[in-house]
Structure 1
């Protein structure tokens, strides 16, 4: 998924960087900043001292569930962090994060994926935190594709992994009942 972001960024016409992303008032540049920041965040987690306890968060869905109560305040904090990240980096730096740094992060993750680290939502295995980055890269690649014609869509594997995480954010029986027309319960959105 990060390679798709890298390729799309290398092909990005200069005027598209300041165009609206379709995600609130974020520009394409801020959307890039948000997702590329995930590469750096994962690198920082890999480098931090390990936690020896069992993780507080069992998987990627538990990570997002722990952050959901922040609601609009959390979304505003994420948006502000993206704006700052975008303002402090050139377009090329945002794009290259998905290439050089991403390769090093993925190599380190393959060795350290079972390690438990401290994230903003609680302790979590690195491999589970990596799934949160798959979800972010997937959802936001769909956002990008809605405004940037040359952006490739997510891979089928990334889409399926994202669906798995999102469905885990809703009680399974309630989801099945709503999805099969047996309940009028509102299922979506599970994550905003």
Structure 2
């Protein structure tokens, strides 16, 4: 499962973060601890959401989730940044050990959950099997963020990276950004500063 393999790869990186690096710059306004905390949400949400089945499936796949998330982010008021800080604080005095515990818990929950179960997500009800790729995407992207912030190498599973890139392209296609992305990927144009699929 690419989700679990990605989580374990990121956990290995987190384990190697030096004690004096946790308060250093992570991403944007986040410290490394905040960024690790935000990344841990890819574990916490699986643990919590998979225990909250709902009746109605509103999102068919991971791309639908990110289209909905992009609309939510467009009107966000800094709550994402604050949730990252809160998640960082919630990791406690030994954040690497807590992160590893969350990986074990998320793996167990994912393994015992029916892939067809419709579960609660912040963007709407969707099947567990459709939600997991969104968490793999977050682990891959923020794992790379952590690698860059700390200078530590990250050995991501190739299948997970391919899955994340494919998902990003699908989201770009559904939000009208695919032509710009395709031109950049084929070396014809550079992406504008600040380009994002979200």
Unaligned ranges ≥5, structure 2: 1-5
Task: Note if contact 2:7-2:139 (Cα within 8 Å) is conserved in structure 1.
Answer: yes
- The question of 1:19 aligning with 2:20 is answered no
Provide the rounded CA distance (Å) in 1 between the counterparts of 2:102 and 2:85.
21
RMSD: 2.7
TM-score w.r.t. the length of structure 2 is: 0.81
Match of 1:189 in 2: 196
TM-score w.r.t. the length of structure 1 is: 0.83
Match of 1:71 in 2: 73
Distance change (3 Å), C-alpha of 1:78 and 1:177: closer
Shift of 1:118: 1.4
Task: Note if contact 2:116-2:127 (Cα within 8 Å) is conserved in structure 1.
Answer: yes
Task: Note if contact 1:5-1:98 (Cα within 8 Å) is conserved in structure 2.
Answer: no
Match of 1:90 in 2: 92
Shift of 1:73: 4.1
Q: After superposition, what is the alpha-carbon deviation per residue over 1:4-34, rounded to whole angstroms, capped at 9, x for unaligned?
A: 222222221111101101x211110000000
Shift of 1:62: 0.8
Match of 2:135 in 1: 133
Which residues in structure 2 correspond to 1:16-165 (within 5 Å)?
16-21=21-26, 23-48=27-52, 50-53=53-56, 55-74=57-76, 76-92=78-94, 94-112=95-113, 113-165=115-167
Match of 1:10 in 2: 15
Unaligned ranges ≥5, structure 1: none
Task: Note if contact 2:92-2:98 (Cα within 8 Å) is conserved in structure 1.
Answer: no
